[in-house]
Structure 1
Amino acid sequence: MQKLALHYNNLLKGSFELKKLNFLFVFQVNCPGCFLYGIPLVNKLYKEFQKDISFLGLSTAFENFDLNTAANTKLLVNNNTIIGHTKKALKNQGFDEYPYTIDFPIAMDKIMNNSEDLEKAILHICSINPNYTSFSYREQLLFKAHVKAYFEKLEIISMTFTLNQLKGTPSFILFDDNYEILYHKFGHIDSNELIAQLKSFVKTLS
């Protein structure tokens, strides 16, 4: 079972305490679907499951790096300010700012900024490759060099998003107190299906 590599600096809203069950919502501020669909869904889940599940919303950036920033995330958290494509989408619905509360804690994905972070990232990607340990020493060196070259081509590396090889936003991840990923979905998912999954895990681990 794959472990979640969760990296963030200071929380921008609320507090996060690791529990037996934890729910991670990964979003970008320049992601209309995250706001029209993702946040209302997570608010609903938070209201129903917060006693049994610890929640964290993680603002990240894998594109539009000038918009998907910590500064714009702070504006969202403090003033309900929206930007970019998100602002355009909500303006079409008659809103100049985000019209809903964000009920769950929010943090910003950690940006890789030194050689120590890079080395940890390379080792992590190697560790989640199921064939890595069966490679010869030379093959392992070549694979590590390939991963390093991939990282060095990226303009900005958001560590949680990149190390977990997420497909995009919104992403929804349920994990336990050992950071083992129990459930992972990307994009639009049926809320009833997700609620049923969470109830099942809560019942199993209670």
Structure 2
Amino acid sequence: MEQLKLAYYSPMNGEFSLKELNFLFVFQVNCPGCFIHGIPVVDQLHQEFGNQVSFLGLSTAFEDFDLNTEENTRLLIDSGELIGETRKAFESQGISTYPIELNFPIAMDRFADHTFDLAQAVEDICNTNPNFSTWPTFDQDTLRKKIMAYLKEQVCIPVTFTLNQMRGTPTFIVFNEKMDILRHHFGHQSVHSLRSELNELLSVSN
């Protein structure tokens, strides 16, 4: 079972602690879809399952690094301030600040620094492919070289986003206390479908 590699700075909005079942919501502040289709769903689920499931919102940046920052994430939490394309999307509807109060813990994705182990990162990324260990050695080495070259070219590496090979935001991941990924979704998800998944997973764990 694929394991979640989770790295973040100190939470800005409450504390996160592992439970038997955990819900990770990955977003960017300059991502209108995250605010229109993501946060309302997570807020509703947090209200319903907050006593049984541990929630964490992870603000990340795989693009627009000048906008998707910890500072702008703090402004969102503290005052509902919106930025960039997200701000434009809401202002077009006559909304100047985000109308939903963020009550679940939020942290900033950790960014690679001089201590970041590139070789280990390459292995982690390779192993997101469940069949990687069965590939011929030549193919494995070729992929390793491609990933290493890609990582070295990056100006900024968001660790959680990169190591888990996320496709974009919003991303929703349900995982257990062993960091095993139980569900992984990218893009718009209905509150009904995610609610059903959480109920199903809770019934199995109880």
Q: Percent of counterpart pairs with the same letter?
A: 47
The alignment status of 1:113 with 2:113, answered yes or no, reads yes
Q: Which runs of 5+ in 1 are unaligned?
A: none
- Unaligned runs of 5+ residues in structure 2 are none
Which residue matches 2:156?
156
* CA deviation profile, 1:42-84 (whole Å, cap 9, x unmatched): 0100000011100000000111111111111111112211100
List aligned pairs for 1:127-146, cutoff 5 A.
127-135=127-135, 139-146=139-146
| 1:93-135 C-alpha deviation (Å, 9 max, x unpaired) | 2121112101100000010112533233112113333344345
**8 A Cα contact 1:12 1:106, kept in partner:** yes
Question: Which range moved further: 163-172 or 146-155?
Answer: 146-155
Alignment length, in residue pairs?
Answer: 206
Q: Secondary structure at the match of 1:201?
A: helix
TM norm structure 2: 0.94
CA distance in 2, matches of 1:188, 1:138: 38
The verdict on how the C-alpha distance between 1:193 and 1:134 changes in structure 2, with shifts beyond 3 A counting, is closer
Over residues 24-55 of structure 1, what are the superposed CA-to-partner deviations in whole Å (9 max), with x where a residue is unaligned? 00000001111122111101000000111000
Structure 1 counterpart of 2:154, one-letter code = L
Instruction: Provide the alpha-carbon RMSD of the alignment.
Output: 1.5
* Matches of 2:116 and 2:87, distance apart in 1: 37
1:167 aligns with 2:164: no
**Does residue 9 of structure 2 align to residue 9 of structure 1?**
yes
* AA matched with 1:27: F
- State whether structure 2 residue 83 is matched by structure 1 residue 83: yes
- Check the 8 A contact 1:112/1:118 in 2, yes or no: no
Question: Where do 1:1-206 residues align within 5 Å?
Answer: 1-114=1-114, 116-135=116-135, 139-206=139-206
Moved more, 112-121 or 44-53: 112-121
Q: CA deviation at 1:143?
A: 3.0
